[in-house]
Amino acid sequence: MRPLMAGLAGSKIREVANAGLGRPDVLAFWFGESDQVTGEALRQVAAESLMRGETFYSHNLGLPELREALRRYTAALHGDPGEGRIAVTSAGVSGLMLASQMLLDAGDEVVVVTPVWPNLPAQPAIMGARVRRVPLAPDVHGAWRLDLGQLLAAITPDTRMLLVNSPNNPSGWTLGRGEQQAILDHCRRTGTWIVADEVYERLWFADPATEGATPLTARSAPSFLDIAGPDDRLVVVHSFSKSFLMTGWRLGWMVLPRGHLDAMGTLIEYNTSCAPVFVQRGAIEALAQAEVTVPRLVDHLRRCRDTLCGALAGLPGVRLATPAGGMYAFLALEGASDSLALAKRLVTDHGLGLAPGVAFGHEAEGWLRWCFASQDPDRLLKGVERLERALPL
Ligand SMILES: Cc1ncc(COP(=O)(O)O)c(C=O)c1O
pLDDT in tens, the chain (393 residues): 998 888 888 889 999 999 988 899 999 999 999 999 999 999 999 999 999 999 999 999 999 999 999 999 999 999 999 999 999 999 999 999 999 999 999 999 999 999 999 999 999 999 999 999 999 999 999 999 999 999 999 999 999 999 999 999 999 999 999 999 999 999 999 999 999 999 999 999 976 555 555 555 578 999 999 999 999 999 999 999 999 999 999 999 999 999 999 999 999 999 999 999 999 999 999 999 999 999 999 999 999 999 999 999 999 999 999 999 999 999 999 999 999 999 999 999 999 999 999 999 999 999 999 999 999 999 999 999 999 999 988
The phi, psi pair for 236, rounded to 5°, reads -110, 125
Q: What is the largest CA-CA distance in the chain?
A: 58
pLDDT tens readout for residues 114-163: 999 999 999 999 999 999 999 999 999 999 999 999 999 999 999 999 99
| Closest C-alpha residue for ligand 1 atom 14 | 32
| Closest C-alpha residue for ligand 1 atom 7 | 92
Q: Which atom of ligand 1 is nearest to the CA of 91?
A: 11
Nearest to 223 by CA among 251, 172, 181, 161: 181
Strand 367-371 versus strand 355-356 pairing type = antiparallel
Strand 130-135 versus strand 109-114 pairing type = parallel
Taking CB atoms and a 6 Å cutoff, what residues make up the pocket around ligand 1?
Answer: 32, 91-93, 117, 165, 169, 197, 199, 239, 241, 247, 252
The CA distance from 61 to 58, in Å, is: 9
Residue whose CB lies within 8 A of the most ligand 1 atoms, among 120, 241, 247, 369, for a mutation test = 241
Q: Which atom of ligand 1 is nearest to the CA of 33?
A: 14
Q: How far is the CA of 56 from the centre of ligand 1 (A)?
A: 26
The phi, psi pair for 374, rounded to 5°, reads -120, 135
The CA distance from 54 to 284, in Å, is: 15
Contacts for 271 with CB less than 8 Å, ≥ 6 apart: 90, 94, 97, 98, 101
Q: Are 256 and 264 in contact (CB under 8 A)?
A: yes
Q: What is the reported pTM? A: 0.96
Nearest to 188 by CA among 237, 136, 231: 231
Q: How far is the CA of 93 from the centre of ligand 1 (A)?
A: 6
DSSP designation for 10? P
Nearest to 20 by CA among 386, 343, 337: 343
Task: Count other Cβ atoms within 10 Å, centred on residue 190.
Answer: 15
Q: How far is the CA of 314 from the centre of ligand 1 (A)?
A: 31
pLDDT tens readout for residues 282-334: 999 999 999 999 999 999 999 999 999 999 999 999 999 999 999 999 999 99
Residue 260 pLDDT: 98
